[in-house]
Amino acid sequence: MINLSSKFTFSPVTILAVLQNFRMVMTDISVFTVEERLIAAVWVHDRIRNDMTMEDVQSAFTERFGKPAPSRSNLYLWEKKVFETGSVLDQARSGRPETRKETCAGVQESLQQYPKKSTRKRSAELGIPRATMMDHMKKDLDVKAYKPMSVNQLSDEDMDRRKEFCEKFLKRFPDGPRNHRKIIFSDECAIYKSSKSRNIYFWAKENSFYKEEVVMIWAALTSEHLIGPYFFDGNVNQESYANMIRNWFIPKLIELGIKDRIWLQQDGAPAHYALLVRALLNAEFPDRWIGRGSNSFAWPPRSPDLTTPDNSLWGLIKGQVSGIRYETIDQLKHAIIAAFASVSRNSLKKKKKKKKKKWHKEPGGEWNCARTTRANILIP
């Protein structure tokens, strides 16, 4: 608290001005404290009524605070500030206008329209520093970066079923390469317009599970033939899948002259297991199809990696298609068709050498699968 006691006397107005000024808390860099300047300003203001000179004020200042007194010009300036503005501190100076709210609103609008855009590109388009934009996103908008992820899981029971299937397969087709011409492996594949290998993030207050534009394709192949791609219009369901088999795939087999002598393999996707699809396969491929619900060969669950398209074909296709930013889905489809046209038989054989699955027996007597490689027995 400021002590105004001295040989001076003060009017109530003067004391009120001092108390109002003392309530202000502001950053100040003067060598004199706010208390010193306030008391000196009041002394200067009341010096005539107290029959004092400026020299008397300076002497009283040195006696009171034990430091050199300020100059006359400073004393007059402090008096003027206190009794004109109510403070010995400098008034706010005019400068650059406050734009934080407007800038923050621009960042928020950009996030709502383009949640996946990179921070560097976003800051460049908004014309603000990246650090400033990130500050708005974290402090003002409270958004975080989320990365889409795909997760698959295999249990020990799945491994046992895979082993049983492979053993049954080897017994049914013991001739190896000769039987590769008899089995046509099929699979769907989702190819995204923006490569999933990129660091794709979207900014939001909560994880809204952003869905990327995707093309769903289907293909089938033996060691001699590659059939595809077939582009599904929307999601794959029992109607769209059965329509593809009936009106597109079977005419392709008839055209190649192999319909009545090949086995069709498909995985256990829900659309493949539908009664409509199984009835169609039983009629067109009697006792000659491999899949979930088949009377001849039940496909092990969660085992798309055992098929040739998964361990050979899709890697080749995605290797050519990914890494390019496509503006439209049609551009992506044209790129996929071109990638299929470039696939050769030799390229698939090279993939075959790199994809081998090894089985080993654990000390406890249970069989487990080395999950780092693929099943060589199923590769044409």
Dump pLDDT digits (tens) for 245-296. Answer: 999 999 999 998 888 888 898 888 889 999 999 999 999 998 889 888 888 8
| Number of domains, the chain | 3
Q: pLDDT grade, residue 163 (50/70/90)? A: confident
Residues 214 and 69 in one domain: no
Residues 64-81: pLDDT tens digits? 898 899 998 888 888 888
Tokens standing for 46? 């009341």
Higher pLDDT, 61 or 6: 61
Quick one: 222 and 360 in the same domain?
A: yes
Question: Residues of the chain with pLDDT > 90: what percent?
Answer: 16
274 and 224 part of one domain: yes
Q: Is residue 1 part of a domain?
A: no
- Whether pLDDT at 8 is above 60: no
Q: Which residues lie below 8 Å from residue 240, measured CB to CB, with a gap of 6+?
A: 232, 233, 234, 271
Whole-model pTM above 0.85?
A: no
Of 36, 58, 85, at which residue does a domain stop?
85
Nearest to 316 by CA among 346, 347, 352: 347
CA angle, 28 as apex, 26 and 34 as ends, to 5°?
A: 80
**Domain of residue 194, residue span:** 156-378
Helix 34-45 and helix 54-65, axial crossing angle in degrees, nearest 10: 150
Asked if 270 and 171 sit in the same domain, the reply is yes
In a shared domain, residues 197 and 306: yes
Classify residue 4: in a domain, yes or no.
no
Pair 35, 134 in one domain: no
Confidence of residue 307 (pLDDT cuts 50, 70, 90): confident
Q: What's residue 34's pLDDT? A: 86
Q: What's the CATH number where 354 sits?
A: 3.30.420.10
Kindly tell me the burial class for residue 247, based on how many C-beta atoms sit within 10 Å of its own C-beta (0-12, 13-18, 19 or more). exposed
pLDDT value of position 302: 75
pLDDT tens figures, 189-226:
888 776 554 556 666 777 666 566 788 999 998 877 88
- Widest CA span of the chain, in angstroms? 125
User: How far apart are alpha carbons 367 and 344 in whole angstroms?
Assistant: 36
Q: Smallest Cα–Cα separation from 169: which of 290, 301, 295, 258?
A: 290
My answer on whether 168 and 281 are in the same domain is yes
Number of other CB atoms surrounding residue 171 within 10 Å: 8
Q: What is the pLDDT of residues 18-48, one digit of tens each?
A: 545 544 444 456 788 888 888 888 898 888 8
